Structure 1
Amino acid sequence: MIVLHASFPIDPDKREEALDLIEDLVEQSQAEDGMIDYRATTDVNDPNVVRFFEQYEDEAAFEAHTQTDHFQEFEAALPDLLAGEPEILRFDVESATELDL
């Protein structure tokens, strides 16, 4: 399984535009083959930071996602929406276990 965690600092003046693109990106990405989970949320401490959490079954699913029209549209628009450098972390995971609180 591949897990991505990405943080994007969004320009406050472009926030609504960014959130509209992100909403479309998330909706379409969740329907992709090989997608386990795909979510975006705003940071509770800074509403201009959007964090993505993505889980893919394998490398093929991740690569397929990067070739979709909705991903490429978001990627092309991203430079104009950012207020700083994004941080993107990739984790290659052998197993995952749900924990009880």
Structure 2
Amino acid sequence: MLVVHASFPVDPDHRDDALELIPDLVAGSRAENGVIEYRATTDVTDPNVIRFFERYEDEDAFAAHGRSDHFETFEESIGDLLADEPEVVRFDVDSATER
């Protein structure tokens, strides 16, 4: 399984525009084969940071997500709305236990 945590710092002047991109990305991503979980939220302490929490069955599912139309549309649109570079952290997980 792959787990991805991505943080997108958006320009406060373009926050609303950035947030409008999220529902289509999340809906399309959740419908993909191999996506276990796909969530987006704003940061509690900084509402200008959008955070994504993603879980994929495997590398193929993650790669397919990166080629999806909804992800490419998001990637093309979000660039001009950012205040800084996104941070993406990937975790390769051998096993997981719910607590």
The two structures have a TM-score, normalised by structure 2, of 0.97
Structure 1, unpaired ranges of 5+: none
Report the alpha carbon displacement of residue 42 of structure 1 after superposing the two structures with TM: 0.2
Mapped partners of 1:32, 1:96: distance in 2: 21
Q: Does 1:10 align with 2:22?
A: no
- Which residue in the other structure is 2:96 paired with? 96
Mapped partners of 2:20, 2:96: distance in 1: 32
How many residue pairs match? The answer is 99
Q: Which amino acid aligns with 1:83?
A: A
Report the alpha carbon displacement of residue 27 of structure 1 after superposing the two structures with TM: 1.0
* CA deviation map 1:22-69 (0-9, x unaligned): 111001110110000000000000100000000000011001111111
The percentage of aligned residue pairs carrying the same residue is 67
Alignment of 1:28-67 (within 5 A): 28-67=28-67
The two structures have a TM-score, normalised by structure 1, of 0.95
Three-state SS of the structure 2 residue aligned to 1:77 is helix
Three-state SS of the structure 2 residue aligned to 1:94 is coil
- Which residue in the other structure is 1:73 paired with? 73
Mapped partners of 1:59, 1:24: distance in 2: 23
Report the alpha carbon displacement of residue 77 of structure 1 after superposing the two structures with TM: 1.3
